[in-house]
Amino acid sequence: MNTERIVITGYRPFAGKEKQLLKMTMSHVETLRKEGLASDREAIIMRSTDGTIVEVFGWKSKDAIKAAHSNPVVNKMWEEYANLCTFLPIGELSEAKEMFSEFTPVN
C-alpha cells in the first residue's frame, strides 16, 4: 500500500523577500528528506501571477507529516519560512478557479 501523501502549498513572499523564499523553497524538500520525512518524488515549484510560490511535493506518509511537527530541524525551517512569507491555501489563488490552472515554472 502506498502511504505517500502529495501536498500543494502556497508561499506568498513578504516585500523584498522573494529571492530568499525561492532559495529556501529550492532546498525545502531535501531538508525534509534528510530528516526521513519526504518521499523521493521530485518537487515541482512554480509561481502564480500574484507572485505566490506554489510547491507540490511528497511526504512519506501521514505519520511523517505528524512527525515533522515535533522535529527541531523542520520547526526551525518553518520559522524561517514564517519570516519570509505568508502560508496560503492554493484555493485562494486566482489560477485555482480555472479548469486548467496555469503557473510559471520555477524549477
Q: Express each pLDDT in 6-35 by its tens digit.
A: 999 999 999 999 999 999 999 999 999 999
Domain range annotation of the chain: 5-105
CA–CA–CA angle 16, 19, 25 (5° rounding)? 125
CATH class of 5-105: alpha beta
Give CA–CA dist 93/66, Å, rounded.
26
The helix (run of H) or strand (run of E) holding residue 11 is strand 5-13
Q: Per the structure block, which three cell numbers stand in for 39?
A: 518521499
Which of left, alpha, beta for 51 (phi over 0: left; psi -120 to 50: alpha)?
left
Q: Would the pTM of this model clear 0.75, i.e. be above it?
A: yes
